[in-house]
Amino acid sequence: MEIDDFTFPGSVPVMVLGGATLFPHGYMPLFIFENRYREMLNYSLERDRMFCIGHARPGIDTETSADPVYRITTVGMVRACVTHPDGTSHLMLSGIQRAEIIGWEQHAPFRIASIIPRPCYIADVDASAAAALELVDLSGRLCGAGRPISDQLREHLRCVKDPTAISDVVGQSFLNHPADRQKLLEMSNVNERLEFLVGHLSHLLASGGGK
């Protein structure tokens, strides 16, 4: 299944992880070893190869809480998966589309959530185009040996024209703090995302944090 063929599902399994956020247009490598998530992976692979990463809310018991994760998440698709003789698996999850969890259809052995699309919008097209160009420039200055992203990703960003995709790729690559990542994921206004990221990358450059 390609992204162009993507049909938004009404429900998906959810893998609950502390501090983890997947963005649309982003990628997340995962190692599946717990029995419940082995079952979840099999469930997903037998159907549409989709599941969500649920960013666990801090300070709660995720096993017993009725709402263990932040409700804004991303539908991910398994792009590659290698299952080992011991039953564990390495896989690459690709972020497809923002979603909102509106309820739970199953809690055990793994969670299945009811979801709806979480649309975004561009409030000012010209401003978003200018901010996206600035963000690509800032990203390029933070690329290379010993820096946050590779030369290959820099070249990829230069080819991307969609401000929404640029904000997601940069967010996945440069935001390290879980609260910042979740904050960006929940922003519906793409202009606000771009402004937030321009400020973040400018601070990284000014502080030498990209070295």
Q: For 26-61, how does the pLDDT look when each residue is reduced to its tens digit (9 = 90+)?
A: 999 999 999 999 999 999 999 999 999 999 999 999
pLDDT band at 149 (very low <50, low <70, confident <90, very high): low
Is the pLDDT at 114 greater than 70? The verdict is yes
pLDDT band at 148 (very low <50, low <70, confident <90, very high): low
User: Is 8 in the same domain as 96?
Assistant: yes
At 37, which helix (H) or strand (E)?
helix 35-45
Is the pLDDT at 2 greater than 50? The verdict is no
| Span of 14-28, 46-60, 106-120, 154-168 with lowest mean pLDDT | 154-168
Domain boundary among 117, 140, 155: 117
pLDDT at 13: 98
Is the pLDDT at 65 greater than 70? The verdict is yes
User: Is 140 in the same domain as 187?
Assistant: yes
At 162, which helix (H) or strand (E)?
none
**Residue ranges making up the domain that contains 49:** 3-117
pLDDT band at 211 (very low <50, low <70, confident <90, very high): very low
User: Is 14 in the same domain as 107?
Assistant: yes
Domain boundary among 117, 136, 162: 117
Question: CA–CA separation, 37 vs 29, rounded Å?
Answer: 14
pLDDT at 1: 43
pLDDT at 5: 60
CATH assignment of the domain containing 97:
2.30.130.40
Tally Cβ neighbours within 10 Å of residue 88. 15
Residue type, 163: P
Domain boundary among 62, 97, 117: 117
pLDDT band at 142 (very low <50, low <70, confident <90, very high): confident
Closest C-alpha to 178, from 78, 69, 79? 69
Tally Cβ neighbours within 10 Å of residue 100. 16
Question: CA–CA separation, 173 vs 26, rounded Å?
Answer: 8
User: Is 8 in the same domain as 107?
Assistant: yes
Handedness of CA 23, 103, 89, 180 (dihedral sign): positive
Closest C-alpha to 172, from 135, 126, 145? 135
User: Is 111 in the same domain as 141?
Assistant: no
Alpha helices in 83-189 (DSSP H): 125-140, 151-159, 163-174, 178-186
Is the pLDDT at 192 greater than 70? The verdict is yes
User: Is 55 in the same domain as 134?
Assistant: no
